[in-house]
Structure 1
């Protein structure tokens, strides 16, 4: 035995076996903490592959039912629906049409889910406008914040009437949570919840998503989405949304904004979610397809890092697949 009084600390003891590592794991993944984003295309005869998002499709109303059933069977917590209309106009009329693709898809999804998971809907105009912005434009071509709020009020009522349990306010208009909450309450939809995309950044990682919804965007969204260099602003936006009545707040994208996510999680009185966006998905899929990384390990690690930073739930295009891995004990 050494005469030295010093005994080295050995953290490696707790990494010695798979069972021990599992026992002391600080961050665990659960299928119920995952939300699957789903695209539904008007007029589609079947699922249509999205070239920039391998493995993700634009669903038809029929194939949507199967995707909902598969997600529910895997234990996924919810689905977030995005509509892809055949016709667009300046004010996004299809978003408030009861027979518009998103509202029809919501009714189909609610029936298919049968309460086994939470059916959520994207409340934004960008998929429905012929200019691709998240709001209506004024005479100078700028997004008119307050006129857009009136459209959001109408969208909220249409989506709630279709059966959406949680409305995902992703447009980043000032006052959108307060406006939608008031409209819902006044119409008797007291139990319809609001997910505020509070810290949504003007990110380069949205490119594949715009393919998925066939975006008509002209210009950019820097006047309403957050500057990627601003950390404090993300927290400020989340606090404002909580004060206006948001039931859940979200940070988007997730992977490049883990600092913002940690800030919001530490300060929030309501659940905090994060969206692992299309570009994050496609980068891992592309690298894995070239054999540069281990796909399964990279997927698990990426989602676990989002949870570790403070997300209570994660929107990810791998939700169903990852849920199956978790249930099979393959995500440790």
Structure 2
């Protein structure tokens, strides 16, 4: 049967009907709010390229976390900016590292808030890469090779130290081959076999990370990350990356960035049955904020449509700097 017997607009006639037949729903339980923590006191500094996102010192962190909890957001993702850096990222895995200290503080204040610890070295290395680097000169320029296998031990130490501090979920973002297997084994050997791994399984070498580099002070000092992060032109490779992580023991899979890679989210959703995370990254956030501040777009409508698209593509969880905004909007709609 077809028109005029079939009229699709019948199911769009009122808000009540539209709500009744709505296929995709975004809730506050879907959200994770990233937080940037640093040393010092009284620090609550807005990141210039990310309006509304701040660096927090440990003494100002409580107010931010209280707001997140009061809004009903179930989880935070912690990034740390250390006092000093070295060639192997030592501040990432020491017991009194900034992420470890922030984790302890948050769990002491709000034990039920999930703390997801980003497990990488780039914020903590003086060269800005996500692992150990062998450096050399070529034509008068400093170059380097990121050493995959040698980096795994450091990533394991980081994950274990984060778990000891009370992190509920370990989220390795380094894109080294074999990182899930190494971290899973390290966590299990240290007695943390119950701690899940949220793997940055499909992480592209993306231009959308620009504002994050400022926020985390993690820009590479030479070269780029294209030898270990994925080429944005590739899709089938994403399935190979994700399959490796599944076989190595990942508990959740992630696609990063999200907005330009909705097809990849759908591919993983169709192929794997693990919970799927979409990372709505800094560049996606900042360009919406900038357009909204110029009065070019309706920020709320754009953000909700964008995040619904990620859910519709297959994401179960969304990491987004809009999490607090979305939680407020959802609450106001009740």
Q: TM-score normalized by structure 2?
A: 0.95
Q: How does 1:1-332 map to 2 (within 5 A)?
A: 7-115=4-112, 117-140=113-136, 141-218=144-221, 219-329=223-333
In structure 2, C-alpha distance between the alignment counterparts of 1:51 and 1:302, rounded to whole Å: 23
In structure 1, C-alpha distance between the alignment counterparts of 2:3 and 2:76, rounded to whole Å: 55
Once the two structures are overlaid, the 10-residue window that deviates more, 315-324 or 63-72, is 63-72
Q: Note the aligned Cα RMSD (angstroms).
A: 1.3
Contact 1:136–1:148, Cα closer than 8 Å, also in 2: yes
In structure 2, C-alpha distance between the alignment counterparts of 1:262 and 1:63, rounded to whole Å: 39
Once the two structures are TM-superposed, the CA of residue 113 in structure 1 deviates from its matched residue by: 2.1
Once the two structures are overlaid, the 10-residue window that deviates more, 41-50 or 202-211, is 41-50
Once the two structures are TM-superposed, the CA of residue 168 in structure 1 deviates from its matched residue by: 0.7
In structure 2, C-alpha distance between the alignment counterparts of 1:118 and 1:268, rounded to whole Å: 24
In structure 1, C-alpha distance between the alignment counterparts of 2:267 and 2:74, rounded to whole Å: 24
Q: 1:19-49: CA deviations, max 9, x gaps?
A: 1111111110110110001100122422111
Contact 2:170–2:197, Cα closer than 8 Å, also in 1: yes
Structure 2: stretches of 5+ with no match in the other structure: 137-143
Once the two structures are overlaid, the 10-residue window that deviates more, 76-85 or 134-143, is 134-143
Once the two structures are TM-superposed, the CA of residue 8 in structure 1 deviates from its matched residue by: 4.8
In structure 2, C-alpha distance between the alignment counterparts of 1:56 and 1:47, rounded to whole Å: 9
Query: 1:185 is paired with a residue of what secondary structure?
Result: helix
In structure 1, C-alpha distance between the alignment counterparts of 2:18 and 2:77, rounded to whole Å: 34
Q: 1:276-320: CA deviations, max 9, x gaps?
A: 000000000000111110011011111111111000000000112
Runs of 4+ in 1 over 3 A off after TM superposition: none
In structure 2, C-alpha distance between the alignment counterparts of 1:255 and 1:238, rounded to whole Å: 19
Query: 1:152 is paired with a residue of what secondary structure?
Result: helix
In structure 1, C-alpha distance between the alignment counterparts of 2:150 and 2:133, rounded to whole Å: 8
| Structure with more strand by fraction | 2
Aligned pair count? Answer: 325
Contact 1:129–1:216, Cα closer than 8 Å, also in 2: no
Once the two structures are overlaid, the 10-residue window that deviates more, 259-268 or 138-147, is 138-147
Contact 2:41–2:59, Cα closer than 8 Å, also in 1: no
Once the two structures are TM-superposed, the CA of residue 266 in structure 1 deviates from its matched residue by: 1.2
In structure 1, C-alpha distance between the alignment counterparts of 2:147 and 2:3, rounded to whole Å: 68
Once the two structures are overlaid, the 10-residue window that deviates more, 17-26 or 285-294, is 17-26
Query: 2:133 is paired with a residue of what secondary structure?
Result: coil
Q: TM-score normalized by structure 1?
A: 0.95
Contact 1:130–1:216, Cα closer than 8 Å, also in 2: no
